[in-house]
Chain A
Amino acid sequence: MNDPRKTIVVTGIGVVSPYGIGMDRLQSGMLSGKSCLAPSKDLYPGFAGSTAHVASLPLAAKDNQPRYSRSDRLAMVAARDAVRNFDCEGAASRESAVGVLMASTVAGLSEIDPAIAQDPAAWFRNGDGLLRAASYPPAHVADAVGDDLGFCGPRCAISAACASSAMAIALAANLLLDGAAPMMLAGGSDALCPFTLSGFNSLQALDPDPCRPFDQNRKGLNLGEGAAVLVLETLDAAMARNATVLAVLRGWAMTNDAFHSTAPHQQGRGLADCMRLAMEMAGASSDDIGYVNAHGTGTPLNDVAETHAYETAFRSRTRPVPVSSTKSYFGHCLGAAGALEAAITIMAVRCGALLPTLRLTDPIESPFVNWLRGEVQRQPLPLAMSVSAGFGGSNAALIFGKSESGKNAFRNSESGNGLA
Chain B
Amino acid sequence: MTPILVAITGIGSVSPYGPLAGLIPPCSTPEPESITAWPTPALRRAFLVKPFRPASVVPGLKTRRLDRLSAWALVASSLALQDAGIDLGQPEPEPEKFDRARIAVVFGTGFGCAELTEAFYQSAAVNGWRGTDPSPFPEGLANSPASHVALWHGLRGPNITVGSKGVAGESALIQAASLLRHGQADLAIVLAGDTLTRAIYEWYEAAGLLSPACYNAEALPVSLPEAGDSVPSAFMPSEGVVALVLEPAGRRQARAYAHFNSGRWVAGGQPVQTIRQMLGDSIPSLIICGSGSPCANGSTIALAREISGTNVAVVPPQIVPPQIVPPNPVAAGLPDTGAFLHLILVLSSRPRGGQALLLGTSGSGTSVNRGFAALLLELPRS
Q: Mark A residues whose CB is within 8 Å of B.
A: 46-47, 96-97, 99-100, 105, 109, 112-118, 120-121, 124-125, 130, 133-134, 136-140, 142-143, 146-147, 151-161, 164, 167, 171, 174-175, 177-178, 180, 194-195, 197-204, 253-262, 269-270, 273, 390-394
Contacts and interface: CB of A to CB of B under 8 A. Distances in A.
A153 B206 CA distance: 31
A159 B141 contact: yes
A239 to B, nearest CB: 20
What 6 A-B pairs have minimum CB-CB distances, sorted nearest first? A392-B147, A152-B268, A199-B137, A114-B125, A156-B164, A202-B134
Contact of A46 (B111, B129, B175, B178): B129
B158 A254 contact: yes
A137 B267 contact: no
Interface string B81-94: 00000000000000
A281 B252 CA distance: 26
A392 B164 contact: no
Nearest to B147: A392
Nearest to B101: A273
Contacts, number: 227
Given A137-B110, A260-B151, A203 B137 contact: yes
Contacts of A118: 122, 125
> Among A124, A167, A177, A199, which residue has the most Cβ atoms of chain B within 10 A?
A199
Contact of B143 (A143, A152, A159, A273): A159
A137 B160 contact: no
Contacts of B118: 116-117
Given A97-B266, A199-B132, A174 B182 contact: yes
Nearest to A151: B267
A137 B111 contact: yes
A146 B267 contact: yes
A255 B171 CA distance: 20
Interface in B267-317: 267-269
Interface stretch (B51-59, B196-204, B233-241, B339-347): B196-204
Contacts of B247: none
Contacts of B117: 109
Given A117-B118, A258-B155, A258-B156, A154 B142 contact: no
A201 B137 CA distance: 10
22 contacts: A100-B267, A113-B121, A114-B122, A114-B124, A114-B129, A125-B206, A130-B203, A137-B163, A138-B163, A139-B165, A152-B268, A157-B163, A159-B143, A159-B163, A177-B182, A198-B132, A199-B137, A256-B157, A259-B151, A391-B138, A391-B143, A392-B141
Contacts of A180: 174, 264-265
Contact of A197 (B105, B129, B165): B129
A65 B161 CA distance: 28
Contacts of B184: 174, 253-254
> Among B112, B130, B147, which residue has the most Cβ atoms of chain A within 10 A?
B147
Interface of B: 1, 100-101, 105, 110-112, 117-122, 124-125, 128-130, 132-134, 137-139, 141-144, 146-148, 150-151, 153-165, 168, 171, 174-175, 178-179, 181-182, 184, 198-199, 202-203, 205-207, 264-269, 336, 368-369, 371
Given A120-B202, A139-B164, A197-B129, A171 B143 contact: no
B130 A201 contact: yes
Given A152-B269, A195-B121, A198-B130, 13 more contacts: A117-B122, A139-B336, A147-B369, A152-B371, A161-B143, A167-B158, A167-B160, A178-B181, A180-B174, A201-B130, A202-B133, A254-B184, A255-B159
Nearest to A115: B125
Nearest to B125: A114
B163 A261 contact: no
Contacts of B150: 256, 258, 392-393
A137 B269 CA distance: 23
Contact of B159 (A47, A139, A160): A160
A121 B141 CA distance: 24
> Among A159, A177, A194, which residue has the most Cβ atoms of chain B within 10 A?
A159
B141 A105 contact: yes
Contacts of B148: 261, 392
A254 B336 CA distance: 25
